[in-house]
């Protein structure tokens, strides 16, 4: 898979950005020495990249995250080390941008650096099973809201239609036309289609560029 | 819509409210329920509804009183500290016999507390938010699917009995995502001859009011209201029994605590401990009869809660203290683990002989 120095994942909240970002960072770590993942999600203090800290740390990936949920402050803030993402050119960075336009606002301060270096990909994660992105039109509307909030353009799509742990291969296959519609309407190519690793095999050959993922962020037990 | 969708608990509340006919939402953001307002702010303009971020929780609940007076479906939502602010309005809603749907996605307290899940507003929900003699219907979902079904039902119950329905969720169920079906069926329409809709010159004006200076009149309204509450207690109790047929120990838990308890019961059964659960779905009216019946055959009860022990009062009242009741709880945003529940079962085995 072709990748840039910085990969940003953004989308409607609940689209599965965080799981994709964690899996993407793990994939990068197999190819690059110095990999960091940053959790810029200041919108959702509950289930975040930070929750998969063990997996990330064991793999030797640096985690940059705000301490909001675990601290006594009621105002989320980003750590200053987040600037290393854009300033340390030897680092391969994955940035998990917060949900929707509100989450993407936090990205704004890093945008001039990213545009200046011009070695990034910005991926829009889409999920047809989320009610507010159930069709191509509403999905592209949210895409534009995010773009105008963070003042950056997406470069491609990650198709991640899923129903959490209940997702079947058929659910993903039946969503391919949705992803194609989003692609046509937005003018962005589909970089990859994510599938839980246990069902990814069923889709190989039926869908191009399957990205097998392991779920590190869940809802709650059973 | 028969196909499932993936929703957050908070979003599920919002969408189900819209399906129940709610076109007026008033609120003020607070973690961990802000997604309700965020979702409403996106959806209401699409369906010609009203989303309004009020200047405070107090303003929001008073806007609810206003819209409810006109007979329309209306809701507000908040989390623990915000519900405290709404208390005065909740009492006025009861005093005016107005239907309303209110959501509390609980976080740890007291005071500002934290933003992680809690169930420590049980007393507030079932007894103590607002002054005066009154009750409200309290529903406790334990899944995102129940966020949908109980929200839909909550609007119906509010109209049917001219009461406030409070959906008492917690931060975990508000934040977690699960696949849900939004297939809820038809909305029942109730006549609202009391509603303030304009006389059109053909009827006497309706007045929505909670001030009655003559004690005889105020007493009469209170007594009438409690007769209505009695029919709710007779007809609307909801609970789930889980592995109770041969149970020697009865766990009582609602919401997220019930999910943990179910896991613990499966593990206990593997070890040969006969545990079961009664999960109250309505916290008021509380499933007193089901617990009293269980008290005749089980050795002990375990109340699993995310509080220092609040629902345990209702467990003991329901069974008239006939059997030992053990509290298993974590607080401050912590959630009891199945291991905590198993330890409580061990304790119950020692004393409940």
Are the CB atoms for A24 and A96 separated by under 8 Å?
Answer: no
At A68, is the pLDDT very low, low, confident or very high (cuts 50, 70, 90)? low
* CB atoms A130 and B259 under 8 Å: no
Query: Nearest C-alpha of chain B: how many angstroms from A166?
Result: 8
pLDDT > 90 fraction of chain B, expressed in percent and rounded? 97
pLDDT digits (tens, 9 = 90+) for A140-194: 999 999 999 988 999 999 999 999 889 999 999 999 999 999 999 999 999 999 9
pLDDT > 70 fraction of chain B, expressed in percent and rounded? 99
User: Does A70 contact B at CB distance below 8 Å?
Assistant: no
Q: Which residues of B touch A172 (CB under 8 A)?
A: none
Across B250-266, average pLDDT: 98
For the question of whether the overall pTM of this predicted structure is more than 0.80, the answer is yes
At A219, is the pLDDT very low, low, confident or very high (cuts 50, 70, 90)? very low
Q: Is B204 exposed, middle or buried (0-12, 13-18, 19+ CB in 10 A)?
A: exposed
- What ipTM was predicted for this assembly? 0.84
* CB atoms B6 and A14 under 8 Å: yes
* CB atoms B115 and A221 under 8 Å: no
Q: Which residues of B touch A14 (CB under 8 A)?
A: 6-8, 11, 177
Closest CA to A20 of A160, A132, A189: A160
pLDDT at B123: 98
Closest CA to A18 of A145, A160, A137, A139: A160
**Residues 134-193, chain B, touching A (beta carbon < 8 A):** 144, 171-173, 175-179, 182
Q: Domain segments of chain A: what residues? A: 6-213
User: Does A75 contact B at CB distance below 8 Å?
Assistant: no
Say if residue B120's pLDDT is above 80.
yes
Token pair for A150? 């963070």
pLDDT at B33: 94
| CA dist., res. B96 & res. B115, Å (int) | 33
pLDDT at A208: 92
Q: Residues B194, B104, B250, CA angle at the centre, nearest 5°?
A: 110
Closest CA to B323 of B344, B347, B352: B352
Across B48-72, average pLDDT: 98
Interface test with A, best of B6, B40, B265 (most A CBs within 10 A): B6
| CA dist., res. B28 & res. A153, Å (int) | 32
Say if residue A222's pLDDT is above 90.
no
Say if residue B292's pLDDT is above 80.
yes
Q: Which residues of B touch A13 (CB under 8 A)?
A: 8, 35
H or E, element range at B42: helix B34-43
Q: Which residues of A touch B11 (CB under 8 A)?
A: 14, 131
User: Does B223 contact A at CB distance below 8 Å?
Assistant: no
User: Does B220 contact A at CB distance below 8 Å?
Assistant: no
Which residues touch B29 (CB under 8 Å, ≥6 apart)? B37, B53
Where do the H-state alpha helices sit in B44-102?
57-69, 80-95
Q: In chain B, which residues fall in CATH 3.40.50.920? A: 240-351
User: Does A102 contact B at CB distance below 8 Å?
Assistant: yes
At A57, is the pLDDT very low, low, confident or very high (cuts 50, 70, 90)? confident
pLDDT > 90 fraction of chain A, expressed in percent and rounded? 63
Distances from the Cα of B3 to the Cαs of A41, A125, B40, B171, B181, in angstroms?
30, 21, 22, 26, 7
Using only C-alpha atoms, chain B has a radius of gyration, in whole angstroms, of: 21
Say if residue B73's pLDDT is above 60.
yes
Of A44, A69, A164, the CB nearest to B178: A164
Q: How many CB pairs under 8 A join A and B?
A: 67
Say if residue B352's pLDDT is above 60.
no
Say if residue B222's pLDDT is above 50.
yes
Interface test with A, best of B42, B179, B258 (most A CBs within 10 A): B179
Of A46, A163, A166, the CB nearest to B175: A46
pLDDT at A67: 61
Say if residue B113's pLDDT is above 50.
yes
DSSP helix, strand, coil percent of chain B (3-state; round to 5): 45, 20, 40
Q: Is B50 exposed, middle or buried (0-12, 13-18, 19+ CB in 10 A)?
A: middle
Query: Which superfamily does A6-213 belong to?
Result: P-loop containing nucleotide triphosphate hydrolases (3.40.50.300)
Q: Residues B302, B305, B307, CA angle at the centre, nearest 5°?
A: 130
CATH no., domain B5-199+222-235: 3.40.50.970
Across B335-345, average pLDDT: 97
SS3 A7: strand
Q: Which residues of A touch B35 (CB under 8 A)?
A: 13
Query: Nearest C-alpha of chain A: how many angstroms from B31?
Result: 9
Closest CA to B260 of B338, B148, B174, B353: B338
* CB atoms B15 and A102 under 8 Å: no
Name the β-bridge partners of B169.
B105
Q: Across all residues in chain B, what is the average pLDDT?
A: 96
pLDDT digits (tens, 9 = 90+) for B10-31: 999 999 999 999 999 999 999 9
Say if residue B342's pLDDT is above 70.
yes
User: Does B97 contact A at CB distance below 8 Å?
Assistant: no
pLDDT at A99: 80
User: Does A205 contact B at CB distance below 8 Å?
Assistant: no
* CB atoms B259 and A129 under 8 Å: no
Closest CA to B18 of B195, B183, B152, B219: B152
pLDDT at A192: 97
pLDDT digits (tens, 9 = 90+) for A82-123: 888 888 999 999 999 878 887 788 888 899 999 999 999 999
**Residues 50-69, chain A, touching B (beta carbon < 8 A):** 69
Say if residue B201's pLDDT is above 80.
yes
pLDDT at A55: 86
Q: Is B138 exposed, middle or buried (0-12, 13-18, 19+ CB in 10 A)?
A: buried
CATH no., domain B240-351: 3.40.50.920
Question: What length does chain B have?
Answer: 353
Give the burial string for A83-96 (b: 16+ CB within 10 Å, else e): eebbeeeebbbbbb
pLDDT at A220: 42
Query: Nearest C-alpha of chain B: how many angstroms from A66?
Result: 15
| CA dist., res. B144 & res. B4, Å (int) | 12
Q: Which residues of A touch B43 (CB under 8 A)?
A: 132
Of B173, B177, B259, the CB nearest to A221: B259
Q: In chain B, which residues fall in CATH 3.40.50.970? A: 5-199+222-235
At A76, is the pLDDT very low, low, confident or very high (cuts 50, 70, 90)? low
Are the CB atoms for B35 and B10 separated by under 8 Å?
Answer: yes
pLDDT digits (tens, 9 = 90+) for A43-53: 565 655 556 77
At B3, is the pLDDT very low, low, confident or very high (cuts 50, 70, 90)? confident
């Amino acid at each position: 898979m072709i990748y840039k120095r910085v990969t940003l994942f953004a989308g409607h909240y609940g689209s599965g950005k965080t799981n994709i970002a964690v899996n993407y960072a793990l994939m990068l770590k197999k190819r690059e020495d110095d990999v960091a993942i940053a959790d810029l999600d200041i919108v959702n203090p509950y289930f975040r990249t930070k929750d998969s800290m063990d997996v990330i740390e064991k793999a030797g990936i640096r985690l940059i995250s705000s301490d909001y949920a675990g601290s006594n402050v009621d105002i989320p803030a980003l750590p200053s080390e987040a600037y290393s993402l854009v300033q340390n050119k030897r680092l391969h960075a994955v940035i998990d941008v917060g949900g929707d336009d509100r989450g993407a606002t936090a990205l704004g301060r890093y945008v001039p650096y990213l545009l200046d270096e011009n070695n990034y990909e910005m991926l829009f994660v889409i999920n047809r099973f989320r009610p507010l992105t159930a069709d191509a039109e509403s999905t592209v509307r949210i895409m534009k809201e995010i773009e105008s909030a963070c003042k950056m353009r997406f470069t491609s799509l990650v198709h991640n239609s899923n129903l959490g742990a209940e997702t079947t291969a058929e659910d993903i296959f039946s969503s391919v036309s949705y992803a194609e519609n989003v692609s046509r309407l937005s003018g962005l190519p589909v970089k990859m289609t994510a599938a839980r690793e246990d069902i990814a095999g069923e889709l190989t050959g039926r869908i191009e560029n399957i990205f097998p993922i392991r779920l590190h962020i869940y809802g709650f037990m059973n | 819509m028969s196909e499932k969708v993936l929703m957050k608990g908070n979003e599920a509340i919002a969408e189900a409210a819209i399906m129940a006919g709610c076109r007026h939402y008033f609120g003020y953001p607070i973690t961990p329920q802000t997604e309700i307002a965020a979702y409403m702010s996106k959806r209401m303009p699409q369906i010609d509804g009203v989303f309004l971020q009020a200047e405070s929780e107090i303003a929001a609940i008073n806007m609810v009183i206003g819209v409810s007076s006109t007979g329309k479906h209306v809701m507000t939502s908040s989390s623990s500290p915000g519900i405290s602010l709404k208390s005065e309005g909740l009492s006025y809603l009861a005093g005016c016999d107005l239907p309303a749907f209110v959501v509390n996605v609980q976080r740890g307290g007291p005071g500002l507390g934290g933003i992680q899940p809690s169930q420590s507003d049980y007393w507030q929900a079932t007894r103590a938010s607002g002054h005066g003699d009154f009750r409200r219907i309290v529903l406790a979902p334990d899944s995102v699917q129940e966020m949908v079904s109980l929200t839909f039902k909550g609007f119906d119950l509010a109209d049917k009995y001219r009461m406030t329905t409070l959906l008492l969720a917690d931060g975990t169920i508000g934040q977690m995502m699960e696949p849900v079906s939004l297939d809820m069926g038809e909305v029942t329409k109730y006549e609202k001859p009391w509603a303030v809709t304009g006389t059109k010159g053909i009827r006497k004006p309706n007045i929505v009011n909670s001030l009655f200076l003559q004690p005889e009149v105020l007493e009469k309204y209170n007594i009438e209201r409690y007769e209505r509450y009695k029919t709710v207690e007779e007809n609307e109790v909801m609970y789930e029994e889980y592995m109770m047929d041969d149970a020697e120990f009865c766990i009582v838990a609602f919401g997220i605590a019930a999910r943990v308890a179910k896991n613990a019961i499966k593990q206990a059964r593997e070890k040969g401990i006969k545990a079961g659960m009664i999960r109250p779905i309505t916290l008021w009216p509380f499933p007193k009869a089901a617990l009293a019946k269980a008290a005749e055959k089980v050795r002990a009860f375990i109340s699993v809660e995310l509080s220092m022990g609040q629902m345990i009062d209702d467990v003991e009242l329901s069974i008239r203290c006939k059997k030992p009741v053990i509290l298993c709880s974590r607080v401050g945003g912590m959630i009891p683990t199945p291991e905590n529940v198993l330890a409580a079962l061990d304790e119950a085995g020692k004393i409940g002989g």
